[in-house]
Amino acid sequence: MFSLFSNPIDLAHQYWERVVRPGDLVIDATCGNGKDTLKLAQLTGEEGSVIGIDLQQEALVKTRTLLEESLSPSHLARIHLIQQSHAAFPPKVEKNTVKLIVYNLGYLPGGNKNVTTQAGTTLESVTKYFTLLSPGGVISVTCYPGHEEGAREEKSLSQLFSTLSPAIWSVCHHRWVNRLSSPSLFILQKSNN
């Protein structure tokens, strides 16, 4: 119905397409059903690497199933799925090496709504993962303020991001002003130098 973009995921994907190149290292910090992980794998190609993180085994099983249906075995070998909280660093990722880090907050679609991302751990993760980004690297965060914890997360992230130095960070918040409580998208880019 709308040819430009119809939701924050479409918009996020357009940013990812602009920044990610074959061979890049990227992180999906909330794998969920794996749709974003698959998109990232397609962008980084067989020369790149994707680290996919989720707290829940159920999410990682769904993600692996989707990837197996869509990618060759050699490509699949470039995707590393880790069951842990994104509040911790993923193992073996060096600082200043990651081109894109993606958060799609909230709960697993079709899963347990009580296992949702939380403002405290989301902020802890984003703050830690800042250090992993390469120069010119991007963080993409989709927020869901339509539920209580999602509204808290969006507010806390907005407060944190508004304190970042404009010499080092370009931060933009996209929201649909004519759709009450609809999801929103933060895009942050770290300076190239």
Ligand X SMILES: C[S@@+](CC[C@H](N)C(=O)[O-])C[C@H]1O[C@@H](n2cnc3c(N)ncnc32)[C@H](O)[C@@H]1O
- Print the binding letters for residues 149-188 with ligand X: x by CB under 6 A, - otherwise: ----------------------------------------
Residues 104-143 that bind ligand X (CB under 6 A): 104, 106-108, 115, 117, 121
Mapped onto helix, strand or coil, the DSSP state of residue 17 is helix
Q: What is the DSSP string of 39-92?
A: HHHHHHTTTSEEEEEES-HHHHHHHHHHHHHHS-HHHHTTEEEEES-TTSPPTT
Encoded one letter per residue, x for contact with ligand X by CB under 6 A and - for no contact, window 32-61 reads xxxxx----------------xxxx--x--
Q: Which residue lies nearer to ligand X by CB, 107 or 186?
A: 107
24/153 with CB nearer ligand X: 153
Binding segment toward ligand X, per CB under 6 A, in 29-37, 70-78, 173-181, 185-193:
29-37
**Candidates 41-49, 90-98, 102-110, 168-176; binding stretch for ligand X (CB under 6 A):** 102-110
C-alpha triplet 134, 135, 136: angle, nearest 5°: 105
Sign of the CA dihedral 1, 180, 175, 185? negative
CA distances from 185 to 9, 12, 93, 114, 171 (A): 8, 7, 25, 22, 11
Which residues form the interface with ligand X (CB under 6 A)? 30-36, 53-56, 59, 85-87, 104, 106-108, 115, 117, 121
